[in-house]
Amino acid sequence: MNSRLIRGTLPPDAGAPAANDAAPASPGPDLGDSRLYINRELSQLQFNIRVLDQALDERTPLLERLKFLLIFSANMDEFFEIRVAGLKGQIALDHEMIGPDGIPPKRALAEISEIAHRQIARQYAILNERILPELATHGIRIVRRTQWTHKQKMWVRRYFREEVAPLVTPIGLDPTHPFPLLVNKSLNFIVRLDGVDAFGRDSGLAIVPAPRVLPRLIRMPLEICEGGDNYVLLSSIIHAHAEELFPGMAVLGCYQFRLTRNADLTLDPEDVEDLALALRGELYSRRFGDAVRLEVADNCPKELTDYLLKQFGLNESEMYEVNGPVNLARLFRIANNVSYPKLQYPPFTPALPKALQHAEDLFEVIGKQDVLLLHPYESFAPVVDLLRQAAKDPQVLAIKQTLYRTNANSEIVDALVDAARAGKEVTAVVELRARFDEESNLTLASRLQQAGAMVIYGVVGIKTHAKLMLIQRREGSELVRYAHLGTGNYHTGNARLYTDYSLLTSDEALCEDVHKLFSQLTGMGKVLHMKKLLHAPFTLKKALLELIARETAHAGAGKPAQIILKVNALTEPKVIRALYKASIAGVQVDLIVRGICSLRPGVPGVSENIRVRSVIGRFLEHSRAYWFANDGEPQLYLASADLMERNLDRRVETAFPIEGKKLQHRVRQALELYLTDNASAALLQPDGEYLRPAPAAGEPIRNVQAELMEKLCGAGAGGAH
């Protein structure tokens, strides 16, 4: 990939002192040099490309490869809706913000356009030339209009007349019918017409929005097909019968298109009195934000694409001509078809640790020992069961919980509702502004309030992203606390798809810290001192920088020093500079960063001791771990926080210690597996690109997810999100 903005400007000795006998001793490399930082948006685009690459990995079952291709579509939609829209907004407002990489928004947009056009064309080529032909060999087909048999044509015509036509509202374009306001990412057609209608109008153009209530992919009946699963696209059905929508007119052309709009919410919490009410209004406006991308059928004539671009205020570089459906995400119906188990990852059953296998009273178990769970290999059920038990237990007096992403009808919310109805003091800190989950969070907040729970919407201007649950229980004459702290959300579905850690504990100091944090969230007051918990935006970044500095000092004193960080993203400049300093001092720094990474590894004189790897596989790598060698006394934190400015400065986040050699060893062993993975890992190069390591001759294939599944629940992962 030609990434000029993150490659080519960095000389091989960037950061190293120049060789000059007459010059005084160098004070060291300039760690603020923009060439040492990778642009955030371009790094995120690289992650999306790594996801697309999985669609070509023949070790992965076919329907799972299709899923990766569709996930790429969904990721790119959000990338344009949020990141590209944000860059365009900066330019429009003449308020361009340049990060540590020194790349201005206009330049970044130009590079994004070049890469995105190439990768989206590649995506459709993979679909048309690899995935669809292979699916057809297994009897799974999307039947194109040119392939319909006579029986299929008759069925499609009947379907159109009975199911589609009554719901379609064609819009002829004339002075009284201007170009309609189209919903974000909706399927539409631009139709070229010939003739004069009953009112004497002859504009020659019309727009046909596809009914949003209809499925985009329709399965044809078995009796009109020759076996297998045969699907037809709604776009094909409308295209084939466009003339029926314009009686007496000649349809000269019908072309599908889709518009992507800015979907970021512009709500300023400080300017509203009722955040929930204001957010409901913002969710409606999200559907009609400023245009950022036009996708159109690749056979659409230039005069029509020019017309559309003019209507949306876009330029040609913001148009993507595609050879296939404009919304590939609709093909998830095929990818999720359970009738083809051999084309999917084999099922598995999450395990339970021995301490919980026959436990009837979870409070008794957790009262004796900390329990650490690694999802999805180990079940999320104990977290739900603990909450259910607390809801029914007459000795439980109060439950407090943060909710960032979950579902209004989830088992977690059910248990909280039951607890509130049972008369317990239930407090839920609901983060309404969890992107794209706002509507669901509004619904669950309303449901909890109706049950009698106290619902708090967090802190103005700062998202509550920490994953915490606190249960207070009367045991004899004492109040005893139990807590759950996690790296992932309280979402039982995600717990089967995301890798995350859960800690169940009754540690007095840690539970007291959790209690203090809830007090800060729900009440008012100064920052409370915590004994064990690190929390943003107050102590987490400062403590993390101190831990890195301590490891740097150990290396400077000639002691063995190592840092392992596993996160979803790394962009915080101060953290990156601290890691560069650690590398210069001789610390071995291993970074497992699934997505965005602005740090540039392998630069002579700066980051020679830093390795960065990204793992993409069956499960979405979501857990966060910070491990420090600490001169033979390892220190380990698990966290809700990625190493980004927003997480460390503008969110409520937590990092909680894992104490005791047994639990520390468990996490360290898992981290070592990530560092030896040569099947699903890609290594970040100094130029900003990622390379998949090729195992040497005779070297065994190492897949971290497969090995963790085999170790923890006795089943292979079945391939390499």
Task: Write out 9-64 in H/E/C secondary structure.
Answer: CCCCCCCCCCCCCCCCCCCCCCCCCHHHECCHHHHHHHHHHHHHHHHHCCCCCHHH
Do the Cβ atoms of 37 and 600 come closer than 8 Å?
yes
Q: Which residues contact 623 (CB under 8 A, 6 or more apart)?
A: 374, 487, 488, 499, 500, 501, 566, 638
Backbone angles phi, psi at 66, to 5 degrees: -60, -40
Q: Which residues contact 66 (CB under 8 A, 6 or more apart)?
A: 55, 131, 135, 331, 334, 335
Residue 74, helix vs strand vs coil: helix
Torsion of CA 563, 568, 574, 579, to 10 degrees: 20
Task: Write out 658-689 in H/E/C secondary structure.
Answer: CCCHHHHHHHHHHHHHHHHCCCCEEEECCCCC
Q: Residue 581: which H helix or E strand, with range?
A: helix 573-585
According to the annotation, is 622 in a ligand binding site?
yes
Contacts 24+ apart (CB under 8 A), 525-533: 532/507, 532/656, 532/657, 533/654, 533/655, 533/656
For residue 216, give both structure tokens.
Answer: 């985009």
Q: Are strands 425-430 and 454-456 parallel, antiparallel or unpaired?
A: parallel
Which residue reads 């190492």 in tokens?
Answer: 702
Report how far residue 164's alpha carbon sits from residue 242's, in angstroms, rounded to the nearest whole number.
Answer: 11
Do the Cβ atoms of 185 and 259 come closer than 8 Å?
yes
Report how far residue 706's alpha carbon sits from residue 713's, in angstroms, rounded to the nearest whole number.
Answer: 10
For residue 710, give both structure tokens.
Answer: 């085999």
Is residue 476 left, alpha or beta, with left meaning phi > 0 and alpha meaning psi from -120 to 50?
left
Q: Are strands 319-322 and 291-297 parallel, antiparallel or unpaired?
A: parallel
Torsion of CA 574, 579, 583, 589, to 10 degrees: -170
For residue 52, give both structure tokens.
Answer: 């697309």
**H-assigned helices in 434-533:** 438-451, 508-522
According to the annotation, is 435 in a ligand binding site?
yes
Positions marked active-site: 465
According to the annotation, is 75 in a ligand binding site?
yes
Residue 428, helix vs strand vs coil: strand
According to the annotation, is 230 in a ligand binding site?
no
Would you call 360 exposed, middle or buried from its count of C-beta atoms within 10 A (0-12, 13-18, 19+)?
A: exposed
The strand pairing partners of 683, in sequence order, are: 613, 691
Q: Which residues contact 616 (CB under 8 A, 6 or more apart)?
A: 50, 51, 54, 594, 680, 682, 720, 721
DSSP 119: H
Report how far residue 551's alpha carbon sits from residue 610's, in angstroms, rounded to the nearest whole number.
Answer: 14
According to the annotation, is 441 in a ligand binding site?
no
Strand ranges in 298-434 using DSSP code E only, listed in sequence order: 319-322, 371-375, 396-403, 425-430
**Cα–Cα distances in Å, from 464 out to 81, 249, 517, 600?**
23, 57, 11, 30
According to the annotation, is 498 in a ligand binding site?
yes
Report how far residue 447's alpha carbon sits from residue 414's, in angstroms, rounded to the nearest whole number.
Answer: 10
Other residues' Cβ atoms within 10 Å of the Cβ of residue 248? 9
For residue 246, give both structure tokens.
Answer: 């314009």
Q: In this structure, is the dihedral angle defined by the CA atoms of residues 318, 320, 325 and 327, taken in order, positive or negative?
A: negative
Would you call 623 exposed, middle or buried from its count of C-beta atoms within 10 A (0-12, 13-18, 19+)?
A: buried
Distance of CA 371 to the CA centre of its chain: 27
Q: Binding-site residues, please?
A: 75, 405, 435, 498, 594, 622
Q: Binding-site residues for ATP, please?
A: 75, 498, 594, 622
Q: Binding-site residues for Mg(2+), please?
A: 405, 435
